[in-house]
Structure 1
Amino acid sequence: MAELNFALIGTGSMGKAHAIALRSVATVFPDVPAPVGEILADVDRSRAEQCAAAWGFRHATDDWHSACLAPEVEVVDICTPNHLHRNMALAAIAAGKHVYCEKPLGLDGAEAASLVLAAREAGVKTAVGFNYACNPMVRLARSILQAGELGEPVNFRGSYQEDYLSDPQAPFGWRCARSTAGSGALNDLGSHLIHLAHFLVGGLERVYGSLTTVYRQRPNPNGSEWRAVENEDIAQVLLRFESGLPGTLEISRVATGRKCGLSFSLTASRGALEFDQERMNELRVYRGADGSGQAGYRTILAGPEHADYGNFCLAPGHGLGINDLKVIELRNLLAGIAHDRAIEADFEAGWRVQAVIDAIEESDRNRCWTSPAPTPLLQVPATGDGQKTANQAGGQ
């Protein structure tokens, strides 16, 4: 399998990030099939044509469904607003395509679960855009924890703070509506943070959430009237992991001055570690007092000895960027397809994140601890009976 033909749906900022990865991955990771930009789809035909020419795609269309059905397409890559993810992914799965979908996987856990079942029954590979877990420094943090180098974990704290809606006059957009975004800061930012909590520590047994909408109305883009904001600006969450470890999450899209304030810290019995995405090529580790009077956190700089970094750069300290994480994420999907092996951030990982978000919202409504409920759909054997179509499984 030397090449894989891709259809990319969406030409926004994430669509461009995925297009950059499609053109870069074979150079950085020559041992995986080279992706080919076959079709670029966007609701605006002229924009689709313009971006297809700029991004190296063979064809452009304003019909996403035809892109999913095209016989020459082998992988469908979805970079659209949240409410479109489910139907696009189901159409691609029904056509036998592998699917790469930006987060969140769906508006809620039910949508995500329908995609897990459909993909299982169709036997296709899937991936969700949880790119922060691809960072070599995040992977180093996990390896340190799994090796027990810091002793027994004591507490996890995660935070994701951005300010893209901190201006009260910022116009109402699709991220402010339940019908197009689902939850607010939780789906947009919290999905990344919850995935990192799963990745680093493990499953969550229960959550206690408090959600706040700071700016309850926003002006329409034309400024003619104001609309009610339908989801949360801030989420504050207490956690209890399946291991018994306690933790907290704080998520905000109105955090004035913060641009990509994704961070986590974990304390343990013999040490601790800290990570900040705004300094994404560093990991701070504390290994306990040694009696020298010089105890403190040590900063580790990313270098070629850390997972995947060396494929981009042979010198430490030069650093990777966010688009490089997308290249690693795409490599993981391509390797999974080529070698028929599990992909870590697959649709089931996406569903588990959505189940936690559902539980946080329920907890806020009921003001009580709430467990992310397993979905019966996920208990169906992966092989099935061969009679149910992917569309029937997804409830279309």
Structure 2
Amino acid sequence: MSKRPLRVALIGSGFMGRAHAMAFAAVGRTFDLAVEPVLEIQADRDAETAAKAAAQFGFARSTGDWREAVADPAVDLVAIATPNLLHAPIALAALAAGKPVYCEKPLAATLAESQAMADAATASGLPTAVGFTYLYNPMIAVARDLISSGEIGEVTAFRGIHAEDFMASAVAPFNWRCEPEQAGGALADIGSHIIAMARHLLGEIAEVSGTLHTAHPMRRTPDGVERVVRVDDQMDALVRFANGATGTLSASWIATGRKMGLGFEVSGTKGSIVFSQERFNELQLYRAGPGINNGFTTIMAGPGHGAYGGFCPAPGHQIGYNDLKTIEVKAVIDAVLGDSSNAKDFADALRVEQAADAIRTSHREARWVALA
């Protein structure tokens, strides 16, 4: 018996567009879904780019105008993997057309646009989801369960970081990530991931005190034009959570040697948890107790850990980044079908943007800033 099709329009075919396309192609083969995802339309900045991507990724059709894809009556879900500046107009148009929306992070280029997207989603009643991919790791689900169950006691501290080095060199060229109008800067670009992780594990952030640092105030464009950099290379913040815990958040794209240094340590009165995305099939758990030989235990991901079993029947064999994206897409499809328990929606992403904006305000005004 054939399943009902869920026809997808994907806007954008770069790094994240490719990840979306691969995930939509794999999700029905990995998990038992109630619908069959169909790669219907690939849209991009021009017809030639869109047609090339459609042929590569397996889309039935293509267009050089995202508006055509959003308005197409055959489309059931719009996935946005464009530059940040286009997130808001595409999402708002899709919601107005009655289409659920799956958008990459950060939610939008400005807090006002993020608020407008969240408001439109609420008013429409349509499902939405945002691409905080690292939250869908089965090991993060283990960490969250350990915290919520009281396994490590009362949480006292969170230390989180997202560190990479793709802008560490002074000769790394000026690009869209260097423009505040494009939601550039380490805080917006990768800081959103560690903020989202902190909220996912510990709950709402109540107050922040942050500072932003620009290590390379001038960069050259690929054609040699020197430009002023008006965004941060690194963010560091003290945070207070609504549950009483305190901690630190850091985001840096100038952390020489770090390729995917998203990590955290959660301390509690009975134990602690340590995680690094660079070894994301593992979780370190410490249980406090008497004795002189206490130490961290390594929990290896295996088929008993949530979605891992959809990819591999054996523990310790590991899943990869694109598998996390596939798990995320399953959560998106579940949300479209009425189960929004796993997907992070526009309201969640708005809270991340509000925390980031509070950090910017704190840096600018040199004070603690409370979140509403």
Asked whether the 8 Å contact 2:27–2:326 carries over to 1, the reply is yes
Query: 1:41–1:67: 8 Å Cα contact kept in structure 2?
Result: yes
Q: Which structure has more RCO (C-alpha within 8 Å, separation ≥ 6)?
A: 1
Q: Contact 1:42 / 1:61 at 8 angstroms: preserved in 2?
A: yes
- Letter of the 1:35 partner, please give it: P
Please point out which of 55, 58, 61 is paired with 1:56. 58
Q: CA deviation at 1:64?
A: 0.6
Once the 2 structures are TM-superposed, how far is the Cα of residue 361 of structure 1 from its aligned partner?
0.2
Structure 2 equivalent of residue 386 of structure 1: none
8 Å contact 1:92–1:99 — kept in the other structure?
yes
Shift of 1:108: 2.6
Q: Distance in 1 between matches of 2:58 and 2:212?
A: 43
Kindly state the Cα deviation for residue 343 of structure 1 after the two structures are TM-superposed: 4.7
Residue from 116, 119, 138 that aligns with 1:117: 119
The answer on whether the counterparts of 1:205 and 1:372 sit within 8 Å (CA) in structure 2 is yes
Pick aligned residue for 1:179 from 157, 178, 181: 181
Separation in 1, partners of 2:165, 2:308: 30
Residue aligning to 1:85: 87
Aligned to 1:155: 157
1:129 equivalent among 128, 131, 145: 131
- Secondary structure (helix, strand or coil) at the match of 1:97 reads coil
Provide the C-alpha distance between the structure 2 equivalents of 1:338 and 1:159, rounded to a whole number of angstroms: 34
Q: What letter matches 1:101 in structure 2?
A: C
Q: Distance in 2 between matches of 1:152 and 1:179?
A: 41
2:371 aligned counterpart, secondary structure: coil
**Structure 1, 41-50 or 268-277: larger mean CA deviation:** 41-50
Query: 1:65 and 1:42 mapped to 2: Cα distance?
Result: 10
Q: Among residues 14, 18, 21, which one is paired with 2:20 in the alignment?
A: 18
Show the counterpart of 1:203.
204
1:254 corresponding residue in structure 2: 254
What are structure 2's unaligned runs of at least 5 residues? Answer: none
Q: Which residue identity does 1:219 align to in structure 2?
A: R
CA separation of 1:228 and 1:32: change in aligned 2, threshold 3 A:
farther
What residue in structure 2 maps to residue 295 of structure 1? 294
**1:381 aligned partner:** none
8 Å contact kept, 1:32–1:331: no
CA distance in structure 2 between the partners assigned to 1:40 and 1:251 by the alignment: 33
- Counterpart position of 2:220: 219
Task: Give 1:48 shift.
Answer: 1.2
Gaps of 5+ in 1: 374-396
| Alignment partner, residue 390 of structure 1 | none
Does the residue aligned with 1:339 lie in a helix, a strand or coil? coil
Q: Distance in 2 between matches of 1:32 and 1:359?
A: 41
How far is the alpha carbon of 1:342 from its aligned partner?
Answer: 4.5
C-alpha separation in 2, matches of 1:347 and 1:140: 24
> By how many angstroms is 1:337 displaced?
1.4
Residue 382 of structure 1 is matched in structure 2 by none
State the identity as a percent: 45
In structure 1, what residue type is equivalent to 2:85? H
Deviations 1:236-255 (CA, angstroms, capped at 9, x unpaired): 00000011110101110111
Letter in 2 for 1:330: V
Q: Secondary structure at the match of 2:42?
A: strand
**Contact 1:108/1:355, CA 8 A, preserved across alignment:** no
User: Secondary structure of the residue that 1:308 maps to in structure 2?
Assistant: helix
Deviations 1:246-271 (A, max 9, x none): 01011101111110000000111111
Q: Distance in 1 between matches of 2:252 and 2:359?
A: 15
Residues in 2 aligned to 1:191 and 1:72: alpha-carbon distance in whole angstroms: 33
Q: 8 Å contact 1:127–1:343 — kept in the other structure?
A: no
In the superposition, the TM-score normalised over structure 1's length comes to 0.92
- Counterparts of 1:322 and 1:209, CA distance in 2: 30
> Any residues of structure 2 matched to 1:218-237 within 5 Å, and which?
218-223=219-224, 225-237=225-237
Q: Which residue identity does 1:272 align to in structure 2?
A: S
1:132/1:325 contact within 8 Å kept = yes
Q: Distance in 2 between matches of 1:119 and 1:69?
A: 17
Aligned residue for 1:357, secondary structure, equals helix
CA distance, structure 1, for counterparts of residue 309 and residue 71 of structure 2: 38
**Aligned counterpart, 1:274:** 274
Q: Find the counterpart in structure 2 of residue 330 from structure 1.
A: 329
Distance in 2 between residues matched to 1:343 and 1:316, nearest whole Å: 23
| Equivalent-residue separation in structure 2 for 1:342 and 1:202 (angstroms) | 16
Are positions 1:241 and 2:241 aligned together?
Answer: yes
Shift of 1:371: 1.5
1:107 to 2:106 alignment = no
| SS of corresponding position for 1:35 | strand
Kindly provide the amino acid, as one letter, of the partner of residue 356 in structure 1.
Answer: A
Number of aligned positions between the proteins: 370
Amino acid at match of 2:204: G
Note the alpha carbon deviations across 1:175-206, whole angstroms, 9 max, x for none: 100112x2411111110100110000000110
Q: Per-residue deviation at 1:32?
A: 3.7
Deviations 1:322-364 (A, max 9, x none): 1111101110111111135455410101100000001000000
Paired residues of 1:128 and 1:345 also in contact (CA < 8 A): yes
> Any idea what the Cα deviations from partners look like across 1:84-131, whole Å, max 9, x if unmatched?
100010011110000000000012322111111111111211000001
Letter in 2 for 1:322: Y
1:280-317 per-position Cα deviation (integer Å, ceiling 9, x unaligned)? 000000001342x3210011100011111111111000
1:31 deviates by 2.4
- Map of 1:385 onto structure 2: none
